[in-house]
Amino acid sequence: MLPLSLLRTAQNHPMLVELKNGETYNGHLVSCDNWMNINLREVICTSRDGDKFWRMPECYIRGSTIKYLRIPDEVIDMVKSRSRSEVSKGRGGGQNMRTGRGGNRGAFGNRGRPAPLARGGGNQGRNPQQNKNKK
Amino acid sequence: MASKEGGDKGKSSQGAGDNKEKRRKESILDLSKYLEKSIRVKFAGGREAAGILKGYDPLLNLVLDNTTEFLRDPDDPYKLLDDTRALGLVVCRGTSVVLICPMDGMEAIPNPFITQEG
């Protein structure tokens, strides 16, 4: 379950978006992209203090300014069914997916273990050289 | 002259390849529908302005004309006052744009949530 998958599934659903500046926006999600930029329609904007309200037919919000989004509970069931159907269509069976994932984990694990040593060694190797070069 | 033409041809063939990639990256926001219309823009840090959209780019940099800024409470940069000041022709930096909405249809309303809560 990826956050952006859930958000994509929530298109055409009502939601609440709180921005980092404290304002909240209630509206129906029209579209979103990989930066979490979103388009809302039939929006009600609430000020930070919750004392002022504006109605706007539509608005565009930059993803990087979002604090969180509240999404209807039923959307989570839709995202599960969709991801299963995608898996069966795209990868040809769950077992293949598992072995595929396991392979990735192993690969990352192997990379990860020597990495601290490699980094440490690399730094020890590099820093003196850089220092020598600077001196 | 001949070499320049050759160069142009090369660029145009590259451009065709780029267009395919750009289709995927196409913005979910079509600002062309707001051209020559009045829009409200909120910025990171709390500044807000309204103006007529004259131009834009994919980075959300905007050109606004007849822009008015909505002045804020000196003690609370996110609290708007009723005062405005005229800014005229403005280029808005895309990275600091938080929200864009059309001024047409935007209105202050009484609390719409009271009926639901009560």
For residue B17, CA distances in Å to B11, B14, B79 come to 10, 5, 48
Q: Each residue of A13-70: pLDDT tens digit?
A: 999 999 999 999 999 999 999 999 999 999 999 999 999 999 999 999 999 999 999 9
Chain A CB within 8 Å of residue B115 CB: no
Within a 13 Å sphere around the CA of A134, how many CA atoms are in the beta-carbon half? 6
Give me the residue spans of the domains in chain A: 3-76
Indicate the DSSP class of residue A63: G
Residue B98, chain A, CB below 8 Å: the answer is yes
Quick check: helix, strand or coil at residue A51?
coil
Measure in Å the smallest separation between the Cα of A52 and chain B Cα atoms.
7
Rounded to an integer, what distance in angstroms lies between the CA atom of residue A104 and that of residue A107? 5
* Residue range A3-76, CATH number: 2.30.30.100
List CB contacts (< 8 A) between B110 and chain A.
53
pTM above 0.90, yes or no: no
**Spatial contact of A73 and A13, defined as CB atoms under 8 Å apart:** no
Neighbours of B87 (CB within 10 A): 15
Which tens digits make up the pLDDT trace of B68-108? 999 999 998 888 888 999 999 999 999 999 999 999 999 99
Q: Which residue has the tokens 């995202």?
A: A79
Residue B61's nearest CA partner among B97, B94, B33, B91 is: B94
Interface check for B86 against chain A (CB to CB < 8 A): the answer is no
Please report which confidence band the pLDDT of residue B26 belongs to, taking 50, 70 and 90 as the band edges: confident
Pick the CATH number of B29-105 from 3.10.20.340, 2.30.30.100, 1.10.3720.10, 1.10.150.120: 2.30.30.100
Q: What residues pair up with A135 in beta bridges, in sequence order?
A: none
Within 10 A of A22 (CB to CB), how many other CB atoms are there? 14
